[in-house]
Structures are given as C-alpha cells and as structure tokens.
Amino acid sequence: MPAFRRREFFHIQQFRRRYDRRAGKFVFNIAYETAAEITPRTVAVSEAFGLGVDEEQKFVIYDNVELQIGPRDIVYITGDSGSGKSVLLKEIKKDLGEEAVDMADIKPDLNQPLIETVGETVEEGLDVLCRVGLNDAFLFLRTYEQLSDGQKYRYRLAKLVESDRQWWIMDEFCSTLDRDTAKIVAFNVQKLARATGKAVVSATTHKDLRRDLNPSVHIHKKFGKELSVKYYPGIRTQECSLVKEMRIERGVLDDWRRLAGFHYRSHKVAATREIFCLRRGRELCGVIVYSYPPIACFGRRQVLPKMSVKELNRKVSIISRVVVHPKYRSIGLGAKLVRETLPLVGTPYVEMVAVMAKYNPFGEKAGMQKITEQLPAKQVLRISEVSSGLGFNLQLLGSQKYVVDKLESLSSEQLEILKQVFIKNDVPRLRKVFALHQPYGRKAEYVEGMKDADLPKMAKLIRIVGLLLQSKVYLFWTDSNAKKTC
C-alpha cells in the first residue's frame, strides 16, 4: 500500500484586513484555494477518470478579492450552495473576533419565559422583544420551544440586538423560513441594524431578499473564481415590500373576531362605530376597531372641554382594538392601520388608551399625540393593598384559575374584608359590573351588588383590578379640519 500525504481541503493563501480611515471601511484581501485530499479513494477516482490529482491541481474560489466593508454596512452575500459563501463568511467572522456575534452561536434558554431571558429589566426586555416583532403579551410568557420557526428567528435577532456587538453574522440567512416571513425578517434586520449603528454580514442562496434587506454591499458568488461586488452608497428609507401589496378597506365585526385570538385583551369590544381591515389579496393582515367614547376617560380634559354625552358621541371616537396578524408584525402595520383610518372614522377627535403603546409607540408613529400616562387610581391601589394583605399575588390577578382558587381559600371574615374595601373604593369600571340601565351604573346598585356578590362575581372584579393596575398611555388626534366642522 503506497503512503498517502493528507492535505487540507481548504487552504488560505492570503487573508489580510486593513482599515481605511478616510473611507471608514475595512478592506479584506483574500486569496483562497481548494484541492482534493490525497487518499486511496481520491487517487482511484482520479485514475479512473484521468484527472491526475496531485499537489499542483487547485480550485481557486477567492483570488485576491478586496471587499470594502464598514462597521455599519449591510452585507448581502448570495450564491448557489457550494459556491463559497459560507467560507467567506467564516473567514470574516474569524478575523473580526470579539467584535462579531454569530446568530448560530446563540443558545436560547429553552425552559424560561421569553421575558426572563431578554433585557436587564422587564421594561428593557419588552422593548427589545417589541422591536423584533414579538410584541404580543402572550408571547412574552412563552418559552423558546413554544415558538414557531419565524418567532424563533425573531427571538435570535433580539439576542443579537441585546449583545451590543458591532457585527452581526448570519449564515443561511432566513433559509428555513417561508418567503413572506423571510422578507419581513430581512426588512426588520436592516431596520434594527441601521437604527442601532450595527453592521450585518449575511449569506444565503435566496436572491429575493435584496429589496427588503436593502444592502449597502451585495456580493454574488458564482462557482469557481467568478465574483461580483456591488456597492450602494447612502441609506434609502423604504417599507417592507409586502406592505405595497396591502390595502385598507371597511370591515365588519366578524373580521375582528377572526383575529381576536391574537389580541391580549378580551374578544369583546364596546359599541363599535367603525371597523377597518388591512388585506393582502384575500388574506386578513390586521384589524382596527373604533368605538363610541366612554363617558369618562383619563387625560381627555387636558385636550377637550367638557361635553354632553350627545356631543361626545358626535365628535369623539376611541380606538378600542388594534391587532396585526403575528406573521406581519414589526413592519409598521399597526401604525399604518391607525394613520390611514383616522381620517375615515368621521369624527374630528380620536383618542386611544393602551398599555402596549408604552412599549410599541405605533400610535405616535401614526400621528397621534401622547398626552399623558395614566397611573392606577388611588381607589384601585387601596383595593390592591388589601388584596395583597390577604395573600393575593398582584402579578397573577389576570389568571382566572389563580383568583378563583385564592378566593375559595379565604375565610368568610376575609371575604367580608375584601367586599368592604371594594364598596369603599369604587370606580366607574367596577360599577359597570352591576350596571342595570346606565353604562357605568349607580353607586347604590354597586353597593347592593357587592353585598350579595358570589365568588365568580368577586373573581371578575379582582381581575378588573388587575387590569386597572396597569399604567396606560392616553393618545389624542385632531382632524386638521376640526375647527371648520365643529
């Protein structure tokens, strides 16, 4: 048996990086070659086909290539499988060292809720998750393993953002995602990178992401040494390509019901004035529900004079629900729904009160003005203090099972203490539970109802307190023609 000398399949002849300070770019100079490894089988194949494999035969895939890539560039490397995309990406990553973070190296915590794994605080975690499109209250509480493939990719993107590394490395970019989701993620990646001043180096076989990734450098690698590099100076703002395929149209309550399961609040809505849908072909992408305004609304007196109920209903609408299909989140559809329907609702004033608006300011992006942040009322805080003293975990008041189980564990004396604090600290939203004829009921009806309230009714009241403990943002919009019409 003859002796065979093993050699590397890939061999770097030259790899240098220098920083061009004047241009603000790194210049990568790469000379790369491949050769068949000498083994008994490769020799047998070469002899059978007359290839003559020896040390002199080489397959050069990068021959003194210079790439000018800056620390804020979006780099899009495309090419067929096996053309050398990943080789280039790996060498760039190796050279960047600690300056880069590779999405493939992220190891998610599989058992913790998402909100426990991102950010130093709850607020930071919510901010990062919302920015990548995981802006659903239910998703905050799920684990990584409970996410879809698209949601997992968004989560990994959140971890890239959180890493604070200058370079984000992404091989097989969006290759496992359906093409619609891939375009949405590509748009989101470049938007986040540009907003935070980071660089992206991505590689994929797919050529359909250029418009949404909007690269400043596009490298297309063909087989052999053939390579094309295009530079696109300047950053062009744009919207996701899928948005151009969508249209706003009037909808009905059934449209809201179809997407209601993706909203963190109850499926029920107040008396509706108008419903608008966002559709892509026949696909329902989002819904916004406008309702008649409540009699009292925190923040309203800062922007409007006191009005009769009749005048209020004529001049004011309230946005009671905005929901976007999870597939289409993070590309600005919430703002689009609000912005394009505000002039269509038919009232000179529109208001919105929302918890999510604290973390995802889609209302402000749509042209609404943030007036104030609504903190819990003193009456609600007193009820929460007594409830906490009776053993309730205030963070779990949204759980029906938890609240019912806790109520069943209380003594009759403790239940009476709870009823009394509700009676002494009523607010309009609590009165509504016992209202017979008016929208928010009378004090006397509320007191009598509380005296006879059974456990299911008490559980409902406590869950409402849980909602009222949330801080909400009050937003307001005025039609530019309001003075002419009012």
What are the pLDDT digits (tens) for 145-197? 999 988 999 999 999 999 989 999 999 999 989 999 999 999 999 999 999 99
Residue 44 reports pLDDT greater than 70: yes
pLDDT of residue 479: 93
pLDDT of residue 157: 93
Rounded CA gap, 289 and 253, in Å? 9
- What's the pLDDT tens digit per position in 307-349? 999 999 999 999 999 999 989 988 999 999 999 999 999 999 9
pLDDT of residue 59: 56
- For 456, the token pair is 């299911």
Sign of CA dihedral 4, 8, 9, 12: negative
| Closest among 264, 387, 296, 277 to 341, alpha carbons compared | 277
Rounded CA gap, 281 and 141, in Å? 32
- What's the pLDDT tens digit per position in 252-296? 999 999 999 888 766 678 789 999 999 999 999 999 999 999 888
| Closest among 311, 305, 264 to 292, alpha carbons compared | 311
Cβ neighbours, 10 Å, residue 412: 6
* Percent of the chain whose pLDDT exceeds 70: 87
Report, as an integer, the average pLDDT of 429-446.
Answer: 79
Give the three-class secondary structure for 306. coil
Pairing of strands 272-280, 59-69: unpaired
Specify the amino acid at residue 467. Answer: L
Residue 141: pLDDT band with limits 50, 70, 90: confident
Residue bearing the bigger pLDDT, 241 or 95? 241
Report whether 351 contacts 301 (CB < 8 A): no
Domains of the chain: 1-69 (no CATH), 70-238 (3.40.50.300), 242-375+472-485 (3.40.630.30), 378-468 (no CATH)
pLDDT of residue 8: 44
pLDDT of residue 6: 44
The residues near 117 (Cβ < 8 Å, ≥ 6 apart) are 108, 109, 125, 144
pLDDT of residue 140: 86
Residue 51: pLDDT band with limits 50, 70, 90: low
pLDDT of residue 87: 82
Rounded CA gap, 345 and 352, in Å? 13
Specify the amino acid at residue 149. Answer: D
Residue 401: pLDDT band with limits 50, 70, 90: confident
| Closest among 381, 416, 418, 403 to 459, alpha carbons compared | 403
Report, as an integer, the average pLDDT of 38-46.
Answer: 77
Cα atoms in the 13 Å half-sphere on the side-chain side of 252: 1
pLDDT of residue 267: 67
Residue 437: pLDDT band with limits 50, 70, 90: low
Residue 35 reports pLDDT greater than 70: no
Report whether 407 contacts 459 (CB < 8 A): yes
pLDDT of residue 135: 80
Backbone angles phi, psi at 4, to 5 degrees: -120, 135
pLDDT of residue 56: 45
Rounded CA gap, 410 and 403, in Å? 11
